[in-house]
Structures are given as structure tokens and as C-alpha cells.
Structure 1
Amino acid sequence: MTSEIHRWLQRDPDPSTRSELQQLLDRNDQQELEQRFSGRLAFGTAGLRGVVGAGPNRMNRLVIQETATGLAQYLLTQEVNARSRGVVIGYDGRPDSRQFAEDTAAALTAHGILVYLTVRVAPTPLVAFGVKHLNAAAGVVVTASHNPPQYNGFKVYWGNGAQIIPPHDTGIAKQIDAAAHSELSLMPLELAEENGLLTLLGNPFYEDYRQAQDRSALLSNHTTPEAISLAYTAMHGVGAEMAETLLKDAGFHQVYSVADQREPDGRFPTVNFPNPEEPGAMDLVIAEAAKHNATLAVANDPDADRLAVAARTPEGNYQMLTGDQVGVLLGHYLLSRTSASGALVGTTVVSSSLLQRIAHAAGARYYQTLTGFKWLTNMAMKHQTDECRFLFAYEEALGYTVGDLVWDKDGLSALVAFAQLTAELAGQGLTLWDRLESIYRQHGLHLNAQRSIALSPGTPPMGDALRASPPEQIGGEPITAITDLKQGTTEYRDGHQAQIDLPSSDVLIYQLASGDRVVVRPSGTEPKIKCYYEVVEAVQEKESLKQAQGRATSRMSELIASHQASLR
């Protein structure tokens, strides 16, 4: 390891990380050195993400340069016109993000690849939009999204505008490994610009995204925008300027931004964890909403690709909507505004099944994918036809995409669409809670929950154990079907089998006789499994929704307790 460390010190272009590493050597901190050099950050379908620091197992300038070099070399083997089509690069507001973006540009241009580099911080959806808009061969966003401040990341889009999926992830990873053992070529950005290899994306590019969204037929519902008001937070991220602009363009003038969280600040000083799903993260925007008696309290995560919503209740409080509830409301709304028979909508295997029921009732086509937006958008392109165009997709982790301007989750366009839905309801004297109740009464109240179960180190793979001895029932309910995404099959209790058209993944889905569902996703890297539960409860004609919710909540508690006990 000593020779590897000294080689790293010779290659590292950053004085701060060289100094950090030298201090570890001077202290002879073998434990920390082992962590830094026991491997390197794994490049996968989400690119890279990790803690910033010295060494190959951290995010730093040398790792970025090697990664960008690997991407460049892979692009040149895959795309004939990669040099002329180029790569779009954007970055968020974290301390190292601009430098990492410039290092990426230096490596790509050294290989003769044209680079489009944003002149300032950019929401992730703008970069995904830019790949298609500029007909680029790929895109890169330097962002760690909603991770803690010590993190950063390197996210890659392919030329179709969607996040990379196999085989591109493994192909790029091999080239990165080669680059890590080779001399790196970098071109100063001034020289790249002189040679016509660097184009800076300034205000006109940001305006292109704005105008494309303003022209979208799916965002053209300008029914009584004055009927609602919104409190908004960018959560110290990069979404505020574009979010406020798009809302204003759509006629929403009662928008109150949380001043302390409006400007980009990678330290995230007012939140413990810059993830709107985390307890307390929405406190300031809800307080802002209460101050103005706003209809909604809404948040983008720091790179603005996700959307969180809290809505005012009839009692005047604010209640968070789950990702599934926002997704179902948006899906139902968008299907009502288009020819549903020509529409394609989708979710992931761990999201609520309610959108599928809504789509089928409307006559729309529905598809389902593995978890992750990379699958939702790539599979949307595969499934759509000239007669049935993609309309909407979501995942329960607060990700939504409205139409095909951006082939990734887009918290900005989703924000506008959700505001327009809320305003339309307000113009009819209705609320989001009224709409949810009507959906539940028609299709059943769908309650979803997630739990992670830590297992003892050395525990054999839980997925293998469950396959070897499949359960007959969960919580006293008979299992009617087991879908095994690793085997690509669904086994029904009556004996017949169906093939599943999804990539292989270590996921098991249990369908229960009551209509409830349990999804088990064992971790491949640690002794832990994630379990996703869904309870479906019919709402009787003369009962209140609260009564049905009480039954569903009770059943959910029993289901979770029984299932978790069976796994220990």
C-alpha cells in the first residue's frame, strides 16, 4: 500500500488533499489509510458518489480526472461522432463542485471532445434537458444531491438524455480502471476555448429550458393560479431561481421563499440532513407557509430533481404528502388532461400499485420497472410508440417526470404541474385531500410503508434463504403469487408460471390474497434487507375515510410486525 500512496501523492493535483494525505502518513494512521486505499469508489449506474477527501476511495480532483478520462475513452469507442456532439457538464453548489466540473472538462477536451459547461450552478434537470437539446453524446452533473455536506458525486447521462444503464456503467468503469494506471492528459480550459472545444452555457441555455417548460402542453393549465399560495424552499440548493421563475410564468404570484435557505450553500447550515424526506428538513418552509396561511409548503432537494409537498389540512395544519400520494395525484391529474388511451405512465416495483389501477381505469398503458429513475426513463423510451406516448412516471422517493422534455426526474416541472393541479381544484372549491379521498373511494385506500432490517454480520444471503424455503403466508394471509426478479418469473399458487420482462435483480414480491403486497430487497453489500409493504383497504360508501384509514393503519402494523418477526 505504501507505494500506492506515494504514487497517489505524485499524481494528485490538489495541494489540500496532498496535505491531508501527508498528515495521515505523518501520524501513521493505518486505519484511515486502509480505508482510503483499500479500493476505489465504485462507478455504477448512478455514477460516483462519496465523501470528499484524499485517496482513491474518496471524491477528489484526481478521482474526478481519472473518471472523466475513462468516460472520454469509453465514449470514443461507442459513439462515432462523440467528439463533435460533445458532453454537457453542470454542477451544484457544493464547495468542490465547480472545480470538479472544470477538471471533467479538462479531461474531455484533452481527448478532442467538445464540452458544453454551464457558467454557474445548474439544477440537475437542466443538464438532462441539455443533453437532448444540444444533441450531445453524454452529460455529467457534479452533485451529491441530498447527501450530507461532506459528500460529492459524478452523475452520467447517455446521449438519449437518461441516466446510464448497463452495459455503459461497466464499460465506463473498465476505462476508469485503465485511466487510474495511466498518465492523464488534461487541457487548460483557456486553450480548450481557443481551440473551439469549450462552449460556455450562459443565460440563453437556462432560458431555453425555461421556455421549453413554459410551452409544454402538460404545464398549460392556467386555471385560477391566484386561488392558491405557496411557501417554497430550495434547501440551500440550486433550484430557487428557476423554480420561482417557472411559477411566476405560470401565473403564481403568491410564492414565499424561505430566505435562509434560498441561496446555494453546500454547508447546508439550517438542516441536519438536506433531504426533504428527513424529519425536520421541512420545518422552515412549513413555518413560512403557516406565516402566510399558504395552501402548500413545497421543497426541492439541493439539486432540484426531487419535490416534496406538505398541504394545509382543513384544520389549518400542514401535513406531508408521501411520494406515492404526490405521484398518484399527478398521474391522475395528467391522465385527466390528455387522451388516456394514447398515454404511457409508469412506476417502480416498490412504489404504490394505485397508479396502475388509475391507468387501467382510464384506458392508459402502464409499465413497471426496477427501482431508480434510470430504469423508469430508459424503459419509457422502450415501451412508448407513435400511438402511445410517454406521459408521466414517478418513484416513491419523491422523484417525478412530467412529459419527455427531461428524461430524468425533474422537481421543477413537477412543482409547476402540482401547483396547477392544486389551483384547478381550488377553483372548484376542492382541496388535494378531497381529490385523494375520491381516488381512494374509487380504487381503494393504498397505504405504503418501508422498513429496513439489520441482520447479524455473516448472515447468509436472505434472498437465497427465502427462495430455498418460500413462505406460504405472511401475517396469516395466504400468498397468491411470488415474483422473483432474479429468476425473472412469477409463480402463482395455482401452479402456473409467467415470465417477467425486467432486468435481473435480487428482489422478491409477495402478493397476498387480500390484495396486500410485500416486497423484499436484500442488500448486496451489507447484512440488511429493505422491505416495502402495501395495504389496500376498500372505503365503504357510507363510512368516513378516517374509518378506512384506521383499519388500514392497524392492518399495516400487524403485517409489518408479523413479516419482520418471520425474517429474524
Structure 2
Amino acid sequence: MTNIVTSDIIKTSNISFGTSGARGLVVEFTDDISAAFTHAFLAVISQKFEFETVALAIDNRPSSYGIAQACAAAIEEHGFEVEFHGVVPTPAIASYSLTKKIPCIMITGSHIPFDRNGMKFYRPDGEISKDDEYSISNSNYSFSKISALPTLVKCTDAADNYIARYTSLFDKYLLCGKKIGIYEHSSSGRDLYHQLFTSLGAEVVSLGRSDDFIPIDTEAVGDKDRSLAKSWSKKYCLDAIFSTDGDGDRPLVADEKGNWLRGDILGLLTSIALDIEALAIPVSCNTAVELSKRFKRVLRTKIGSPYVIAGFEGLIESYHCVAGFEANGGYLLATDLVINGKTLSALPTRDAVLPALMLLVAAGKDNISSLVENLPQRFTWSDRIKNFASEKSQQIIESAVMSPENFLSQLGLSQRQCADIDQTDGARFTLDNGDVFHLRPSGNAPELRCYTEAADELQAKEYVETILGKIPSLQ
């Protein structure tokens, strides 16, 4: 039987690492390509860690189970046992992996459309690094072509452990009197969130469950979902609505009025509630973080959890309580914390449940909106142009950086001047009135993202609509 070399098949595929795992079209995730990534991952980390078992989980995409079967076949061929945990949130399988000190693979495309999918890899000590990604992509491990796909038997340990991670910290009456809507759609955590919140005393209302995969993007919530939240809040008299993206690592939380909170505002409120000393956050996050003056250090990084995690290394040497979050709301805990006399272990990967819980704890008997109103009033907005070639995005950004005055004129913003350009990731333009717009090609799909910030929410939204409306016509 002819063997296949992992690097040969990976490099000739159209699947590559972005800001959050390997991503590509479903049709590109053949059995051999899925196996190649799995073998390469195991070949790289087995040089650094000793383990016998690999955990495997999936999201609710129609294609995810088949990809997992190919991964399981590769894991077994590589000489390891497979633990299949079925459909669970990414932070659930990641937390389980850390606890058991074994690697894991999560089959998910997160928030991107269902015709795409992806793979997230975790070492026994957490997310793989950018160096690991390079080693995986260039691994020369040789393996046999898959002849048969195994039937996967589900284990519930990861889901059970994830629920216990949070319910064990609080009294079972913590959320008594709270009425919380769970926007379930096709989230991979939809079958455990109800149990988690009711275990803490909340009355839970299930909302919007879907048999079709819905690509919820917590950084660019659509008008339909905005209207749904307001109508649900009014109809059921809810104190909050909780939801996530497809794989459950990015939270989406609405206040008692049905207004979705921006992810970085949720992260800021969570960090205040946890009494965090130092933060690592991407450059795209709201400047209310610094303006709040609640932290001893705020480190800005490139966008993507690997960069936030890399930023933790220097911070944990100087501070006891370190965390991070992204503009999408995903919360990363770098150090162990003590809550109610009990230890919450570090989970340095995006999580959606912790920020939602801490927001409710911080609100207490008050409304969530009052917490938001007490923050420095800086408003952000974001959206994206889909099916926009990365090459064109790069050309537009390079031209804009070379001549910002001309670029502002092309966007219809000639009345403003550019005060600063931050090229940490993409190009973040600060205008002479303090407003911000930030352009960045997506690392996961052919999309151009635009983030804006202003002292007024309507102005922030208007910037996004104006800029994304003008850009497709630019050469």
C-alpha cells in the first residue's frame, strides 16, 4: 500500500491555518486531508508530550461527523485511543483536555457558513501555537490511505465536566429569580446550557432552536437577530438572553431590553467582576478598557487567540490575576482564580459561559443595562464584506496606509484627518476627533472586516456602512 506524506497533501489542499484553526470548504475536507492534519498534529506534539488517548468532538454542522470519523481512523492508526465526546462546545473539550492532560481535536468551522468547516487542535497544555501550526503544515509524517471509517461511540465526560466547572463555584440559588432566554439555534452547546443555568436557580426559556446550521457571528450580529432578541425580551420578560456562535466559544448576551452587548464590553465587565489585574486583548477591542482605569496593565495584540495567549507569558510573571478577551466576546483565563473560596482553573482558550455568568453575578438584582451605562461611553460596530479576495483587501489597505488623506477622501470622509495608523493587525486608523476605523482581512475566509469606534453608536454604525459601501468600488 502506498503511503501518503502529510506535508504533500496539506500543501496541495486549499485548507490552511487562519486565526482559529485550519479552515476550508467542506468539499476540501476529504478523508485523506482530514487524516493528514490529524497525523501531522500527533506527530508534532508526541515529540513534546506523553499520552495514550486523544479526545475528539464536533459541532452541529452536517459535515462534522464524517470529518471526525476520518480523524478517529488516523488517531487509531497513529497508535492512540480515541475518546469521542460528540457535539459539545469547544471550551468544554478544551477544558477536559487540560484536566486529563491529553490532546484533543475539535471539528468546527465556528461562525463561518455551513459549506465550510475546520479543525481546532489542542495540546495537553492548551491551544497549539503559531510555531506548532508551522510544524504541522510542514510535517513529513507518512501514513496509509484510509480504508474504512469507524463508528464513533459518544462519551459524555467533557459535557459533564464543563457544567460542573461552573456550577461547583456557586450556590444553587445564585440565579434564583432570573429569567434567562437561551437562543439555541445550532450552537454546539445548546443541549447543556439549559441544564447549567437551571442548576444555578434560573428559569430558562428555550428560543430559536434550528435543525439547520446557522452561522452566528458575534462580531457582526444581523438585523434579524437584533429584532428577535428585542421581541423575545418583551414577550417573555427576560432578564438576559444567552447565546453563542456555532462552536460555543464566543458569547452573545443581551440585556433586559434585548440589546446585544458588544463582545469587548462583555469582556470588560467580566474582567471587572473577576478583579483581573492585567489583560491581553486584540488591537480591535474598545478603548473603554483603558479608559475604565480598572487594570494595572493592558497589552494589545494581533487579532486571534494564539496572539492573546502569547501575550499572557509576560503578564503572568508580574501579575497574579491575568486574563484576556477578544472583540467577539470569547474570554480567556490565563491564571487560576478563587471564587467563593473555590478554585476556578485557568482555561487559556475562548470561553462563552464564564463571561455570561459573571455578568449576571455582577448585575445581581439590578439590570444589566445599568452596568453598561456606568462604563466609559465608547461605542463600537463591525461588519464584513463576504466573498472578498484577501489579495484585494491587502492592496486596498496598503494603498490606504501610503496615502491616508486620499483614502479618507475616497471614503467620503475628507472632513476628517488621520491622526494615527496602527498596523499591529491590518490597519487601524485613528481620526483627529478620536474616532477609529480598522480594516483587516479575515484569517478564516475571503472576507474583509471593518471595526469602528465612536462616542456615539449611530456614528460607529454609519462609519461601517459608509466604508464597506465604498470599498468594493476602490481599485
Given the superposition, is the C-alpha separation of residues 224 and 522 from structure 1 closer, same or farther in structure 2, using an over 3 Å criterion? closer
Say if 2:182 is the partner of 1:232: yes
Higher Cα Rg: structure 1 or 2? Answer: 1
Q: Alignment identity in percent?
A: 18
Letter of the structure 2 residue corresponding to residue 390 of structure 1: V
Write out aligned runs for 1:248-263 (5 A): 248-252=198-202, 254-258=203-207, 261=209
Distance between the aligned counterparts of 2:463 and 2:400, measured in 1? 21
Partner of 1:51: 25
Distance between the aligned counterparts of 2:180 and 2:120, measured in 1? 31
Write out aligned runs for 1:150-165 (5 A): 150-162=115-127, 164-165=128-129
Letter of the structure 2 residue corresponding to residue 206 of structure 1: A
In structure 1, stretches of 5+ residues that fail to align are 1-6, 12-36, 191-197, 486-504, 538-548
Given the superposition, is the C-alpha separation of residues 130 and 439 from structure 1 closer, same or farther in structure 2, using an over 3 Å criterion? same
Residue by residue, what CA displacement relative to the aligned partner does 1:132-181 show, whole Å, maximum 9, x if unpaired?
A: 11112x3210122233333332111233312x3322112111227x65xx
Given the superposition, is the C-alpha separation of residues 224 and 152 from structure 1 closer, same or farther in structure 2, using an over 3 Å criterion? closer
Partner of 1:126: 92
Say if 2:246 is the partner of 1:302: yes
Given the superposition, is the C-alpha separation of residues 248 and 171 from structure 1 closer, same or farther in structure 2, using an over 3 Å criterion? same
Distance between the aligned counterparts of 1:310 and 1:387, measured in 2? 32
TM-score normalised by the chain length of structure 2: 0.80
Letter of the structure 2 residue corresponding to residue 131 of structure 1: S
* Match for residue 371 of structure 1 among 281, 287, 303: 303
Moved over 6 A (4+): 185-190, 221-224, 453-460, 523-528, 562-567
Residue by residue, what CA displacement relative to the aligned partner does 1:494-532 show, whole Å, maximum 9, x if unpaired?
A: xxxxxxxxxxx5x22333343322323257999975432
Distance between the aligned counterparts of 2:111 and 2:269, measured in 1? 24
In structure 2, stretches of 5+ residues that fail to align are 5-9, 336-345
1:90 Cα deviation after fit: 1.4
Letter of the structure 2 residue corresponding to residue 296 of structure 1: A
Ranked by relative contact order (alpha carbons within 8 Å, sequence separation 6 or more), the top structure is 2
Secondary structure (helix, strand or coil) at the match of 1:175 reads: coil
8 Å CA contact 2:16–2:24 kept in 1: the answer is no
Residue by residue, what CA displacement relative to the aligned partner does 1:5-52 show, whole Å, maximum 9, x if unpaired?
A: xx99x99xxxxxxxxxxxxxxxxxxxxxxxxx9951322143333333
Partner of 2:192: 242
Distance between the aligned counterparts of 1:142 and 1:526, measured in 2? 17
Given the superposition, is the C-alpha separation of residues 237 and 433 from structure 1 closer, same or farther in structure 2, using an over 3 Å criterion? closer
Greater helix fraction, Structure 1 or Structure 2: 1
Partner of 2:105: 140
Distance between the aligned counterparts of 2:89 and 2:245, measured in 1? 10
Distance between the aligned counterparts of 1:311 and 1:387, measured in 2? 32
* Match for residue 383 of structure 1 among 315, 320, 323: 315
8 Å CA contact 1:124–1:305 kept in 2: the answer is yes
Letter of the structure 2 residue corresponding to residue 245 of structure 1: Q
1:398 Cα deviation after fit: 3.5
* Match for residue 72 of structure 1 among 30, 34, 42: 42
Say if 2:78 is the partner of 1:104: no
Given the superposition, is the C-alpha separation of residues 114 and 510 from structure 1 closer, same or farther in structure 2, using an over 3 Å criterion? same
Distance between the aligned counterparts of 2:404 and 2:91, measured in 1? 42
Q: Kindly report the root-mean-square deviation, in angstroms, between the aligned alpha carbons of the 2 structures.
A: 3.9
* Match for residue 533 of structure 1 among 448, 452, 455: 452
Q: How many residues align?
A: 448
* Match for residue 434 of structure 1 among 350, 370, 373: 370
1:301 Cα deviation after fit: 2.5
Secondary structure (helix, strand or coil) at the match of 1:416 reads: helix
Letter of the structure 2 residue corresponding to residue 132 of structure 1: L
Letter of the structure 2 residue corresponding to residue 52 of structure 1: V
